[in-house]
Amino acid sequence: MISTSIGEMSPEKTSQADQNTHASSSCGASRICVVGLGYVGLPTALLFARKGFEVHGVDVNSQVIAAIQQDQVGERYAELAPWWHEVKSLERFSASQSPLPADAFLIAVPTPVHPETKACDLSAVLSAVRSIVPILRPGNLVILESTVPPGTTRRHVKALIEAQGFKVGQDIHLCFSPERILPGNTLHELVHNHRILGSEFPESARLGADLLHQAVEGEIYLTDDLTAEFCKLAENTYRDVNIALANELSLIADELGVNIQNAIPLINKHPRVNLLQPGIGVGGHCIAVDPWFFVEVSPWKTELIGTSRRVNDRMPIYRAQQILQDVAGIENPRICLAGLTYKPDVADVRESPAMRIVQILKERGLDVIAYDPLLPDYQTTSLEEALTGADYFGILVNHSVLQKALSDKREHWLSLMRRPLIRVF
Protein backbone atom coordinates (compact mmCIF):
# COMPACT_ATOMS: atom_id res chain seq x y z
CA MET A 1 0.00 0.00 0.00
CA ILE A 2 1.20 3.47 -0.86
CA SER A 3 0.27 5.89 1.87
CA THR A 4 2.24 9.02 1.13
CA SER A 5 0.44 12.03 -0.27
CA ILE A 6 2.06 13.77 -3.17
CA GLY A 7 2.15 16.80 -0.91
CA GLU A 8 4.58 14.98 1.38
CA MET A 9 6.67 13.70 -1.49
CA SER A 10 7.13 17.12 -3.07
CA PRO A 11 6.31 19.79 -0.53
CA GLU A 12 6.69 22.48 -3.14
CA LYS A 13 3.37 22.86 -4.90
CA THR A 14 3.71 22.37 -8.65
CA SER A 15 3.52 25.82 -10.14
CA GLN A 16 0.69 26.44 -12.55
CA ALA A 17 1.82 26.08 -16.15
CA ASP A 18 1.95 29.26 -18.12
CA GLN A 19 -0.92 29.44 -20.58
CA ASN A 20 1.30 30.44 -23.48
CA THR A 21 3.88 27.70 -23.17
CA HIS A 22 3.54 23.98 -23.65
CA ALA A 23 3.33 22.08 -20.40
CA SER A 24 4.55 18.64 -19.49
CA SER A 25 4.57 16.55 -16.34
CA SER A 26 7.69 14.96 -14.85
CA CYS A 27 6.81 11.72 -16.68
CA GLY A 28 7.12 13.76 -19.84
CA ALA A 29 3.41 13.85 -20.61
CA SER A 30 2.57 16.81 -22.78
CA ARG A 31 -0.12 15.27 -24.99
CA ILE A 32 -3.27 14.06 -23.29
CA CYS A 33 -6.13 12.11 -24.78
CA VAL A 34 -9.39 12.36 -22.79
CA VAL A 35 -11.87 9.61 -23.63
CA GLY A 36 -15.46 10.60 -22.78
CA LEU A 37 -16.46 14.26 -22.97
CA GLY A 38 -19.29 14.28 -20.46
CA TYR A 39 -19.70 16.26 -17.27
CA VAL A 40 -16.26 15.15 -16.02
CA GLY A 41 -14.29 14.54 -19.24
CA LEU A 42 -15.03 17.78 -21.06
CA PRO A 43 -14.09 20.16 -18.22
CA THR A 44 -11.04 17.98 -17.51
CA ALA A 45 -9.94 18.28 -21.15
CA LEU A 46 -10.43 22.05 -21.04
CA LEU A 47 -8.54 22.30 -17.75
CA PHE A 48 -5.44 20.53 -19.13
CA ALA A 49 -5.59 22.58 -22.35
CA ARG A 50 -5.69 25.76 -20.24
CA LYS A 51 -2.63 24.54 -18.41
CA GLY A 52 -0.62 24.20 -21.60
CA PHE A 53 -1.13 20.54 -22.58
CA GLU A 54 -2.05 19.43 -26.11
CA VAL A 55 -5.41 17.78 -25.54
CA HIS A 56 -7.45 15.55 -27.81
CA GLY A 57 -10.98 14.75 -26.64
CA VAL A 58 -12.92 11.70 -27.76
CA ASP A 59 -16.61 10.93 -27.58
CA VAL A 60 -18.79 8.37 -29.33
CA ASN A 61 -21.60 10.92 -29.46
CA SER A 62 -21.31 12.86 -32.71
CA GLN A 63 -23.44 15.70 -31.29
CA VAL A 64 -20.87 16.34 -28.57
CA ILE A 65 -18.08 16.48 -31.15
CA ALA A 66 -20.18 18.74 -33.39
CA ALA A 67 -20.84 21.10 -30.45
CA ILE A 68 -17.07 21.40 -29.93
CA GLN A 69 -16.20 21.72 -33.60
CA GLN A 70 -18.97 24.27 -34.18
CA ASP A 71 -18.05 26.35 -31.14
CA GLN A 72 -21.32 25.64 -29.29
CA VAL A 73 -19.83 24.49 -25.99
CA GLY A 74 -20.58 27.82 -24.29
CA GLU A 75 -24.29 27.60 -25.13
CA ARG A 76 -24.68 23.88 -24.63
CA TYR A 77 -22.80 23.66 -21.33
CA ALA A 78 -23.23 27.10 -19.76
CA GLU A 79 -21.16 26.17 -16.72
CA LEU A 80 -18.09 25.52 -18.91
CA ALA A 81 -18.37 28.73 -20.96
CA PRO A 82 -15.53 30.65 -19.23
CA TRP A 83 -12.98 27.90 -19.85
CA TRP A 84 -14.25 27.19 -23.35
CA HIS A 85 -13.77 30.78 -24.44
CA GLU A 86 -10.20 30.71 -23.14
CA VAL A 87 -9.31 27.34 -24.66
CA LYS A 88 -10.79 27.80 -28.13
CA SER A 89 -8.35 30.61 -28.87
CA LEU A 90 -5.32 28.56 -27.72
CA GLU A 91 -5.63 25.93 -30.49
CA ARG A 92 -4.51 23.20 -28.16
CA PHE A 93 -7.74 21.27 -27.98
CA SER A 94 -9.13 19.01 -30.71
CA ALA A 95 -11.98 16.51 -30.59
CA SER A 96 -13.16 13.57 -32.66
CA GLN A 97 -14.80 10.18 -32.30
CA SER A 98 -11.46 8.34 -32.34
CA PRO A 99 -8.52 8.54 -29.93
CA LEU A 100 -5.10 9.79 -31.02
CA PRO A 101 -1.70 8.70 -29.71
CA ALA A 102 -0.76 10.61 -26.54
CA ASP A 103 1.48 10.43 -23.49
CA ALA A 104 -1.42 10.08 -21.08
CA PHE A 105 -4.98 8.82 -21.49
CA LEU A 106 -7.77 9.85 -19.12
CA ILE A 107 -10.95 7.80 -19.29
CA ALA A 108 -14.16 9.42 -18.04
CA VAL A 109 -17.07 7.54 -19.59
CA PRO A 110 -20.42 6.69 -17.97
CA THR A 111 -21.04 3.56 -15.90
CA PRO A 112 -24.83 3.31 -15.58
CA VAL A 113 -26.73 0.60 -13.69
CA HIS A 114 -29.13 -1.77 -15.38
CA PRO A 115 -32.64 -0.44 -14.56
CA GLU A 116 -33.88 -3.79 -13.18
CA THR A 117 -30.88 -5.85 -12.07
CA LYS A 118 -28.97 -2.78 -10.80
CA ALA A 119 -25.74 -4.33 -12.12
CA CYS A 120 -23.07 -1.94 -13.34
CA ASP A 121 -22.83 -1.64 -17.11
CA LEU A 122 -19.10 -1.48 -17.82
CA SER A 123 -19.46 -1.56 -21.59
CA ALA A 124 -18.45 2.09 -22.10
CA VAL A 125 -15.32 1.67 -19.96
CA LEU A 126 -14.34 -1.53 -21.74
CA SER A 127 -14.88 -0.09 -25.20
CA ALA A 128 -12.95 3.07 -24.25
CA VAL A 129 -10.02 0.91 -23.15
CA ARG A 130 -10.27 -1.23 -26.29
CA SER A 131 -10.21 1.94 -28.39
CA ILE A 132 -6.92 3.17 -26.91
CA VAL A 133 -5.09 -0.15 -26.56
CA PRO A 134 -3.95 -0.29 -30.23
CA ILE A 135 -2.35 3.17 -29.97
CA LEU A 136 -0.70 2.76 -26.56
CA ARG A 137 3.07 3.09 -26.50
CA PRO A 138 5.50 1.96 -23.77
CA GLY A 139 5.72 4.63 -21.07
CA ASN A 140 2.10 5.76 -21.53
CA LEU A 141 -0.03 6.60 -18.51
CA VAL A 142 -3.68 5.52 -18.35
CA ILE A 143 -5.93 6.98 -15.64
CA LEU A 144 -9.46 5.64 -15.23
CA GLU A 145 -11.78 8.25 -13.69
CA SER A 146 -15.18 6.61 -14.21
CA THR A 147 -16.87 5.35 -11.05
CA VAL A 148 -16.65 1.55 -11.12
CA PRO A 149 -17.25 -1.50 -8.91
CA PRO A 150 -14.13 -2.23 -6.80
CA GLY A 151 -11.70 -4.45 -8.68
CA THR A 152 -12.51 -3.12 -12.15
CA THR A 153 -9.16 -1.42 -12.81
CA ARG A 154 -7.17 -4.50 -11.90
CA ARG A 155 -9.50 -7.13 -13.29
CA HIS A 156 -10.80 -5.59 -16.50
CA VAL A 157 -8.72 -2.60 -17.57
CA LYS A 158 -5.36 -4.17 -16.78
CA ALA A 159 -6.39 -7.41 -18.53
CA LEU A 160 -7.32 -5.58 -21.75
CA ILE A 161 -4.02 -3.69 -21.79
CA GLU A 162 -2.00 -6.82 -21.09
CA ALA A 163 -3.86 -8.72 -23.81
CA GLN A 164 -2.14 -6.32 -26.22
CA GLY A 165 1.25 -7.60 -25.04
CA PHE A 166 2.10 -4.82 -22.56
CA LYS A 167 3.13 -5.40 -18.96
CA VAL A 168 1.11 -3.06 -16.74
CA GLY A 169 3.34 -1.44 -14.13
CA GLN A 170 6.36 -1.71 -16.46
CA ASP A 171 5.35 -0.71 -20.00
CA ILE A 172 2.08 1.05 -19.17
CA HIS A 173 1.28 2.95 -15.98
CA LEU A 174 -2.32 2.31 -14.93
CA CYS A 175 -4.13 4.32 -12.21
CA PHE A 176 -7.63 4.93 -10.92
CA SER A 177 -8.53 8.45 -9.80
CA PRO A 178 -12.18 9.30 -9.23
CA GLU A 179 -13.57 12.79 -9.72
CA ARG A 180 -15.47 14.52 -6.92
CA ILE A 181 -16.90 17.58 -8.67
CA LEU A 182 -20.37 18.74 -7.75
CA PRO A 183 -22.46 19.55 -10.83
CA GLY A 184 -23.24 23.25 -10.51
CA ASN A 185 -19.78 24.04 -9.14
CA THR A 186 -17.68 22.16 -11.69
CA LEU A 187 -14.90 24.62 -12.52
CA HIS A 188 -14.05 25.49 -8.94
CA GLU A 189 -14.19 21.93 -7.63
CA LEU A 190 -12.23 20.43 -10.52
CA VAL A 191 -9.29 22.63 -9.60
CA HIS A 192 -9.60 22.80 -5.82
CA ASN A 193 -10.96 19.46 -4.60
CA HIS A 194 -8.54 17.04 -2.97
CA ARG A 195 -8.31 13.82 -4.92
CA ILE A 196 -7.43 10.21 -4.39
CA LEU A 197 -5.30 8.38 -6.90
CA GLY A 198 -4.63 4.65 -6.72
CA SER A 199 -2.43 2.20 -8.53
CA GLU A 200 -1.19 -1.32 -7.96
CA PHE A 201 2.27 0.07 -8.70
CA PRO A 202 3.77 2.89 -6.58
CA GLU A 203 5.77 4.36 -9.44
CA SER A 204 2.65 4.52 -11.62
CA ALA A 205 0.76 6.24 -8.80
CA ARG A 206 3.53 8.78 -8.46
CA LEU A 207 3.49 9.53 -12.19
CA GLY A 208 -0.32 9.75 -12.24
CA ALA A 209 -0.32 12.18 -9.32
CA ASP A 210 2.39 14.22 -10.94
CA LEU A 211 0.21 14.67 -14.03
CA LEU A 212 -2.91 15.61 -12.04
CA HIS A 213 -0.89 18.01 -9.98
CA GLN A 214 -0.13 20.04 -13.10
CA ALA A 215 -3.76 21.10 -13.17
CA VAL A 216 -5.28 20.38 -9.74
CA GLU A 217 -4.55 22.62 -6.76
CA GLY A 218 -6.02 20.26 -4.15
CA GLU A 219 -3.86 17.54 -2.62
CA ILE A 220 -3.54 14.22 -4.45
CA TYR A 221 -3.63 11.36 -1.94
CA LEU A 222 -2.03 8.14 -3.11
CA THR A 223 -3.20 4.64 -2.43
CA ASP A 224 -3.78 1.43 -4.37
CA ASP A 225 -6.40 1.21 -7.12
CA LEU A 226 -8.78 -1.06 -5.18
CA THR A 227 -8.84 1.31 -2.20
CA ALA A 228 -9.38 4.30 -4.49
CA GLU A 229 -12.34 2.57 -6.16
CA PHE A 230 -13.74 1.68 -2.73
CA CYS A 231 -13.36 5.26 -1.44
CA LYS A 232 -15.28 6.77 -4.35
CA LEU A 233 -18.25 4.47 -3.79
CA ALA A 234 -18.10 5.01 -0.03
CA GLU A 235 -18.32 8.80 -0.45
CA ASN A 236 -21.50 8.72 -2.51
CA THR A 237 -22.96 5.91 -0.41
CA TYR A 238 -22.36 7.94 2.74
CA ARG A 239 -24.47 10.73 1.27
CA ASP A 240 -27.19 8.39 -0.01
CA VAL A 241 -27.60 6.64 3.35
CA ASN A 242 -27.75 9.96 5.18
CA ILE A 243 -30.34 11.37 2.78
CA ALA A 244 -32.36 8.17 3.21
CA LEU A 245 -32.33 8.73 6.97
CA ALA A 246 -33.56 12.31 6.52
CA ASN A 247 -36.27 11.09 4.14
CA GLU A 248 -37.42 8.35 6.49
CA LEU A 249 -37.52 10.76 9.43
CA SER A 250 -39.62 13.15 7.34
CA LEU A 251 -42.15 10.39 6.66
CA ILE A 252 -42.37 9.60 10.39
CA ALA A 253 -42.71 13.32 11.14
CA ASP A 254 -45.57 13.62 8.62
CA GLU A 255 -47.36 10.71 10.26
CA LEU A 256 -46.95 12.27 13.72
CA GLY A 257 -47.89 15.77 12.60
CA VAL A 258 -44.39 17.16 13.24
CA ASN A 259 -43.01 19.77 10.83
CA ILE A 260 -39.67 18.26 9.83
CA GLN A 261 -38.33 21.63 8.65
CA ASN A 262 -38.89 23.05 12.11
CA ALA A 263 -37.30 20.00 13.70
CA ILE A 264 -34.09 19.77 11.62
CA PRO A 265 -32.44 22.99 12.84
CA LEU A 266 -33.21 21.93 16.41
CA ILE A 267 -31.83 18.43 15.86
CA ASN A 268 -28.68 19.90 14.30
CA LYS A 269 -28.03 21.99 17.39
CA HIS A 270 -26.50 18.79 18.79
CA PRO A 271 -22.72 19.14 18.36
CA ARG A 272 -22.32 15.77 16.66
CA VAL A 273 -25.48 15.58 14.54
CA ASN A 274 -25.90 16.95 11.03
CA LEU A 275 -29.12 15.70 9.51
CA LEU A 276 -29.38 16.29 5.77
CA GLN A 277 -32.46 17.57 3.96
CA PRO A 278 -35.38 15.28 3.16
CA GLY A 279 -36.75 15.77 -0.31
CA ILE A 280 -38.60 14.18 -3.19
CA GLY A 281 -35.93 11.51 -3.71
CA VAL A 282 -32.34 11.24 -4.87
CA GLY A 283 -31.52 11.86 -8.51
CA GLY A 284 -28.49 12.41 -10.70
CA HIS A 285 -26.30 9.73 -12.15
CA CYS A 286 -23.97 9.38 -9.16
CA ILE A 287 -25.62 9.05 -5.77
CA ALA A 288 -28.68 7.30 -7.17
CA VAL A 289 -26.42 4.80 -8.94
CA ASP A 290 -23.07 4.24 -7.23
CA PRO A 291 -24.27 2.50 -4.02
CA TRP A 292 -25.65 -0.29 -6.22
CA PHE A 293 -22.04 -1.17 -7.18
CA PHE A 294 -21.39 -2.12 -3.55
CA VAL A 295 -24.58 -4.21 -3.53
CA GLU A 296 -23.34 -5.91 -6.71
CA VAL A 297 -19.91 -6.87 -5.37
CA SER A 298 -21.07 -7.63 -1.81
CA PRO A 299 -24.74 -8.64 -1.92
CA TRP A 300 -24.82 -10.20 1.57
CA LYS A 301 -23.10 -7.34 3.36
CA THR A 302 -25.09 -4.40 2.04
CA GLU A 303 -28.40 -4.51 3.90
CA LEU A 304 -28.23 -0.87 5.01
CA ILE A 305 -26.93 0.39 1.66
CA GLY A 306 -29.54 -1.48 -0.39
CA THR A 307 -32.36 -0.44 1.95
CA SER A 308 -31.28 3.21 1.78
CA ARG A 309 -31.34 3.09 -2.00
CA ARG A 310 -34.86 1.67 -1.90
CA VAL A 311 -36.02 4.27 0.65
CA ASN A 312 -34.78 7.05 -1.61
CA ASP A 313 -36.19 5.44 -4.74
CA ARG A 314 -39.64 5.22 -3.12
CA MET A 315 -39.76 8.92 -2.23
CA PRO A 316 -41.35 10.09 -5.52
CA ILE A 317 -44.26 7.70 -4.84
CA TYR A 318 -44.77 9.16 -1.35
CA ARG A 319 -44.57 12.71 -2.65
CA ALA A 320 -47.03 11.93 -5.48
CA GLN A 321 -49.40 10.51 -2.85
CA GLN A 322 -48.97 13.71 -0.85
CA ILE A 323 -50.02 15.75 -3.88
CA LEU A 324 -53.03 13.49 -4.40
CA GLN A 325 -54.04 14.07 -0.77
CA ASP A 326 -53.56 17.83 -1.19
CA VAL A 327 -55.98 17.93 -4.12
CA ALA A 328 -58.43 15.30 -2.80
CA GLY A 329 -61.96 16.65 -3.03
CA ILE A 330 -61.23 18.96 -5.97
CA GLU A 331 -62.98 17.84 -9.11
CA ASN A 332 -60.56 17.46 -12.06
CA PRO A 333 -57.83 19.43 -10.34
CA ARG A 334 -55.42 21.34 -12.56
CA ILE A 335 -51.95 20.80 -11.13
CA CYS A 336 -48.94 22.91 -11.97
CA LEU A 337 -45.59 21.34 -11.02
CA ALA A 338 -42.42 23.41 -11.30
CA GLY A 339 -38.78 22.31 -11.08
CA LEU A 340 -38.10 19.06 -12.90
CA THR A 341 -34.33 18.61 -12.77
CA TYR A 342 -32.58 16.25 -10.38
CA LYS A 343 -31.61 19.09 -8.05
CA PRO A 344 -31.90 22.88 -7.82
CA ASP A 345 -30.11 25.18 -10.27
CA VAL A 346 -28.75 22.39 -12.48
CA ALA A 347 -30.23 21.75 -15.94
CA ASP A 348 -29.89 17.98 -15.69
CA VAL A 349 -32.80 15.55 -15.57
CA ARG A 350 -30.93 12.28 -15.16
CA GLU A 351 -32.73 10.01 -12.65
CA SER A 352 -34.85 13.03 -11.73
CA PRO A 353 -37.36 12.22 -8.95
CA ALA A 354 -39.43 15.24 -10.07
CA MET A 355 -39.90 13.74 -13.53
CA ARG A 356 -40.99 10.50 -11.86
CA ILE A 357 -43.63 12.36 -9.82
CA VAL A 358 -44.99 14.01 -12.96
CA GLN A 359 -45.11 10.60 -14.65
CA ILE A 360 -46.91 8.94 -11.70
CA LEU A 361 -49.59 11.66 -11.59
CA LYS A 362 -50.08 11.65 -15.35
CA GLU A 363 -50.46 7.87 -15.29
CA ARG A 364 -53.26 8.41 -12.76
CA GLY A 365 -54.98 10.59 -15.36
CA LEU A 366 -54.38 13.91 -13.61
CA ASP A 367 -54.20 17.19 -15.49
CA VAL A 368 -50.53 18.11 -14.86
CA ILE A 369 -48.63 21.01 -16.35
CA ALA A 370 -44.88 20.53 -15.89
CA TYR A 371 -42.73 23.66 -15.98
CA ASP A 372 -39.02 24.25 -15.56
CA PRO A 373 -37.32 27.57 -16.27
CA LEU A 374 -33.97 25.77 -16.81
CA LEU A 375 -35.19 23.28 -19.40
CA PRO A 376 -36.04 24.57 -22.88
CA ASP A 377 -38.44 21.64 -23.44
CA TYR A 378 -40.44 22.62 -20.36
CA GLN A 379 -40.79 26.32 -21.03
CA THR A 380 -43.42 25.90 -23.74
CA THR A 381 -45.64 27.87 -21.42
CA SER A 382 -44.69 30.72 -19.08
CA LEU A 383 -45.14 30.32 -15.34
CA GLU A 384 -47.89 32.90 -15.63
CA GLU A 385 -49.80 30.79 -18.15
CA ALA A 386 -49.11 27.58 -16.28
CA LEU A 387 -50.59 28.97 -13.08
CA THR A 388 -53.62 30.65 -14.62
CA GLY A 389 -56.64 28.65 -13.49
CA ALA A 390 -54.51 26.10 -11.60
CA ASP A 391 -55.83 24.49 -8.43
CA TYR A 392 -52.43 23.52 -7.12
CA PHE A 393 -48.87 24.78 -7.44
CA GLY A 394 -46.20 22.28 -6.38
CA ILE A 395 -42.56 23.38 -6.45
CA LEU A 396 -40.75 20.08 -6.72
CA VAL A 397 -37.23 21.46 -7.17
CA ASN A 398 -36.72 24.91 -5.74
CA HIS A 399 -34.44 26.64 -8.29
CA SER A 400 -33.21 30.09 -7.21
CA VAL A 401 -35.32 31.72 -9.92
CA LEU A 402 -38.45 29.99 -8.65
CA GLN A 403 -37.66 30.98 -5.06
CA LYS A 404 -37.25 34.56 -6.18
CA ALA A 405 -40.44 34.49 -8.27
CA LEU A 406 -42.39 33.17 -5.30
CA SER A 407 -40.96 35.57 -2.75
CA ASP A 408 -41.26 38.65 -5.00
CA LYS A 409 -44.74 38.05 -6.39
CA ARG A 410 -46.50 35.51 -4.21
CA GLU A 411 -49.79 37.43 -4.14
CA HIS A 412 -49.72 37.80 -7.93
CA TRP A 413 -49.26 34.06 -8.51
CA LEU A 414 -51.99 33.26 -6.01
CA SER A 415 -54.36 35.68 -7.73
CA LEU A 416 -53.98 33.78 -11.03
CA MET A 417 -54.88 30.45 -9.49
CA ARG A 418 -58.37 29.03 -9.07
CA ARG A 419 -57.38 27.81 -5.59
CA PRO A 420 -54.46 29.19 -3.57
CA LEU A 421 -52.81 25.85 -2.88
CA ILE A 422 -49.00 26.00 -2.91
CA ARG A 423 -46.59 23.39 -1.60
CA VAL A 424 -42.83 23.76 -1.73
CA PHE A 425 -41.20 20.33 -1.46
Point out the residues that are catalytic. 232, 286
Residue nearer to ligand SAJ on the CB measure, 307 or 380: 307
Q: Which among 238, 237, 208 is positioned nearest to 222, based on CA atoms?
A: 208
**Interface with ligand SAJ, residue 279, by CB under 6 A:** yes
Identify residues 142-201 at the interface with ligand SAJ (CB under 6 A). 147, 179-183
Distance, in Å, from the CA atom of 304 to the CA atom of 313, rounded to the nearest integer, reads 14
Residue nearer to ligand SAJ on the CB measure, 52 or 278: 278
Residue nearer to ligand SAJ on the CB measure, 179 or 225: 179
Residue nearer to ligand SAJ on the CB measure, 25 or 236: 236
Measure Cα distances from 155 to 123, 168, 233 in Å: 14, 12, 17
Measure Cα distances from 251 to 78, 264, 324, 410, 420 in Å: 37, 13, 16, 28, 25
Q: Could you tell me the smallest distance in angstroms from the CB atom of residue 338 to ligand SAJ?
A: 15
Q: Could you tell me the smallest distance in angstroms from the CB atom of residue 398 to ligand SAJ?
A: 10
Q: Which among 423, 209, 200 is positioned nearest to 327, based on CA atoms?
A: 423
Which residues have C-beta within 8 Å of that of residue 81, sequence separation ≥ 6?
73, 74, 75
Q: Where are the alpha helices (DSSP H) in 10-55?
A: 41-50
Residue nearer to ligand SAJ on the CB measure, 126 or 276: 276
Q: Are 58 and 33 spatial neighbours (Cβ–Cβ below 8 Å)?
A: yes
Q: Are 83 and 43 spatial neighbours (Cβ–Cβ below 8 Å)?
A: yes
Residue nearer to ligand SAJ on the CB measure, 92 or 232: 232
Residue nearer to ligand SAJ on the CB measure, 162 or 235: 235
Measure Cα distances from 395 to 226, 271, 339, 418 in Å: 42, 32, 6, 17
Q: Are 389 and 334 spatial neighbours (Cβ–Cβ below 8 Å)?
A: yes
Using the 8-state DSSP alphabet, how is residue 120 labeled?
Answer: B
Parallel, antiparallel or unpaired: strands 195-198 and 220-223: parallel
Q: Could you tell me the smallest distance in angstroms from the CB atom of residue 339 to ligand SAJ?
A: 10
Q: Could you tell me the smallest distance in angstroms from the CB atom of residue 138 to ligand SAJ?
A: 32
Pick from 154, 206, 343, 356: which binds ligand SAJ (CB under 6 A)?
343
Percent helix, strand, coil in the chain, to 5, is: 45, 15, 40
Pick from 129, 264, 286, 305: which binds ligand SAJ (CB under 6 A)?
286
Q: Where are the alpha helices (DSSP H) in 135-224?
A: 152, 158-162, 186-192, 202-213
- Total residues binding ligand SAJ (CB under 6 A): 20
Which residues have C-beta within 8 Å of that of residue 6, sequence separation ≥ 6?
206, 209, 210, 213, 219, 220, 221, 222
Q: Are 291 and 243 spatial neighbours (Cβ–Cβ below 8 Å)?
A: no
**Interface with ligand SAJ, residue 125, by CB under 6 A:** no
Using the 8-state DSSP alphabet, how is residue 15 labeled?
Answer: P
Q: Are 92 and 55 spatial neighbours (Cβ–Cβ below 8 Å)?
A: yes
Q: Could you tell me the smallest distance in angstroms from the CB atom of residue 175 to ligand SAJ?
A: 18
Residue nearer to ligand SAJ on the CB measure, 30 or 403: 403
Q: Could you tell me the smallest distance in angstroms from the CB atom of residue 87 to ligand SAJ?
A: 22
**Interface with ligand SAJ, residue 284, by CB under 6 A:** yes
Q: Are 71 and 9 spatial neighbours (Cβ–Cβ below 8 Å)?
A: no
Identify residues 193-252 at the interface with ligand SAJ (CB under 6 A). 235-236, 239, 243
Q: Are 291 and 233 spatial neighbours (Cβ–Cβ below 8 Å)?
A: yes
Q: Could you tell me the smallest distance in angstroms from the CB atom of residue 184 to ligand SAJ?
A: 7
Q: Could you tell me the smallest distance in angstroms from the CB atom of residue 96 to ligand SAJ?
A: 25
Binding site for ligand SAJ (CB under 6 A): 147, 179-183, 235-236, 239, 243, 276-277, 279, 282-284, 286-287, 342-343
